[in-house]
Chains A and B, each alone.
Chain A
Amino acid sequence: MRLTLKIWRQAQDNPKGTFERYDVDDVSPDMSFLEMLDILNERLMHEGKEPIAFDHDCREGICGMCSLMINGQAHGPDRGVATCQLHMRRFKDGETIVIEPWRAKAFPVIKDLVVDRSAFDRIIQAGGYVSVSTGGVPEGNTIPVPKPAAEQAMDAAACIGCGACVAACPNASAMLFVAAKVSHLATLPQGQVEKDQRVLRMVEAMDQEGFGNCTNHYECMAACPKQIHVKFITLMNREYLKASIKQP
C-alpha cells in the first residue's frame, strides 16, 4: 500500500507546530498502525531526521498509553479498539491520513503527537481510591459483592485512562473517564464509605483542570476503546446530585 500521511510536528518546548507531509510506500495491510509509524521513523532516522514522537507501551490495548486522532477520529475508524490494535487494512491504497495529537487545554502537547495526560492522575489522586487498613491480604469472601454489582464495577473498571473520551468530545470534556472511575468504586461495597466525598472531590478536580462540560453528544462512548457506556455518566450525575443534597 502507498499512503500519504499528514502528521502534526511540534518541537519540545515550542508552542507552535505544523503539519508535515510524508509519503510512505510498501505498507503491508497486516501491519498495525503503530508499526507503520515505526517504519516511517526508521526511515527518518536513516535520513538523519528527527523521528516522530508518539505514545505507546503494551501494544495490545490494555495499558492506555497509545493515542492519536486519526482522520478526525480518536484511535481511528474502528470501534472498541485502541490505536495499537488498528490495522492498515482498514485504509485504502493511496489514501491520505491526517494524524493529530489529542486536543484539549488540559492535555498540553509535549512533542509531536505526545500529550501530557497527568491531569487524569490528579483527578484520581483527588478521590479515585478506597481507604483500607494495611496488614495481611484479607480473605477473598470477607466482603460479599452481589453479582450485578461485580459486573457493573468491572464494566466501569475497564477504563484504561487513554483520554480518547476527551479527544473525541466536541467540548473536550472528561466526564466519561471520571464517571468510569467514580462508578467503579461507588458500585462496590468497599467504596461506600467515601462515596459522597469521592464524587464531589473528583468532579472539582476535573473542573479545575479546565476540561469542558458534557452536553450529551456521546462521542466519548463511540471513541472509547473499551466501549465504556454513558450510563456511567448518568450514574455520576446522580451520585453528585445526591451528595449535594446530603452535604450542600
Chain B
Amino acid sequence: MHASPQSSIGQKALMAATGLILLAFVISHLLGNLLVFAGPEALNAYALKLRHMAPLLWLARALLLLAVVVHLWTSIRLSRQNRLARPVGYRRFRPGETSLSARTMLLSGVLLLAYLVYHLLQFTFHTTDPALAHLTDPLGNHDVYAMVITAFRNPWISCIYVVGMAALCAHLSHGFDSSFQSLGVNNERLLPLLQRVGQALSLAIFMGYSSIPVAVLLGIVKLR
C-alpha cells in the first residue's frame, strides 16, 4: 500500500504547501513594496538589486509559477470532488462552526487569480499601459517608484488593487490555519491560536498593501 498525492490528504497537503509558498512570497513582496514610503531612491535601488540577482530571481519565479499552477489545478479537482460527494443537497442546512471566508475560498481564489493576471499585465508585462515601461530615474534605471505612483493616481486602478487585497485577506484568514491543519501541524491548544494569528496576519497584509494606493490618492506619496 502506497501513499498518493492524488488522495484526499495528499491533495490537501499540496494545497497547503503551495499556499504557504505563495504566502511567503506575499509577505516578502509586501516588505519590499513598503519601501515606496522611503522614497524613490530606496525603492528603485531595491528593484535594481533584485534584477542583479537574476538567476535567483528566475528560480523564485519558476517556483512561484509552479506553486500557482499546482494550487489552481488541485483546487479545481478538490472542489469538483466535493461537489460530487453530495449529489442531493439539503432543503435546510445550517452550519454553525465554519466562517464566511472558509465557505468562499473558491470565490476569493478566483478573484485573486483575476487580480493576479491584471497585476502582472500591468506592472510586469506593461500591457495595460505601455508608457509605464519607459520611465527612467535620474540614474538611468527603470523608475519603479514613478510607475507605481502614476498608476495609482487613477482611482479606478487603486480601487482594483484594494479589492484584490480584500480577496487575499479573506482567502488567507481561512487559508493560514487551514494549511497547518492540512499538514498535520496543529493541536487542541494551537488551533485557536493559529486562527487568531491567521486573521491578524491577513488583516496586516491587507492594510500594508492597501496603504500604498491610499497614500498615493491622498497625496502622501507623490512624484518627485
Binding site for B on A (CB under 8 A): 6, 19, 69, 71-73, 98, 100, 103-106, 168, 170-173, 175, 197, 200-201, 203-204, 206-207, 210-219, 221-222, 229-231, 233-244, 247-248
Looking at B3-11, B61-69, B165-173, B215-223, the stretch in contact with chain A turns out to be B3-11
B90: A residues at CB distance < 8 A: 69, 72, 100, 103
Tell me the bound Cα distance from A203 to B184 in angstroms.
15
Interface of B: prevailing SS: loop
Residue of B nearest to A171 (CB): B82
Which residues 77-114 of B sit at the A interface, judged by CB distance below 8 A? 78, 81-82, 84-98, 102-103, 105
B186: A residues at CB distance < 8 A: 231, 234
Please tell me if B191 contacts chain A, counting CB pairs below 8 Å.
yes
| B181/A230 in contact, CB under 8 A | yes
Please, how many residues of chain B have a CB less than 8 angstroms from a CB on the other chain?
Answer: 44
Binding site for A on B (CB under 8 A): 1-4, 7-13, 78, 81-82, 84-98, 102-103, 105, 174, 177-178, 181-188, 191
B94: A residues at CB distance < 8 A: 71-73
| B85/A247 in contact, CB under 8 A | no
| B184/A221 in contact, CB under 8 A | no
| B3/A247 in contact, CB under 8 A | yes
Q: A204-B7, A214-B12 are in contact. Are A237 and B86 (CB under 8 A)?
A: no
Most chain B beta carbons < 10 A, residue from A175, A203, A221: A203
B102: A residues at CB distance < 8 A: 215-217
Pairs A-B, 8 closest by C-beta atoms: A244-B3, A238-B184, A212-B85, A72-B94, A217-B98, A72-B92, A237-B184, A171-B82
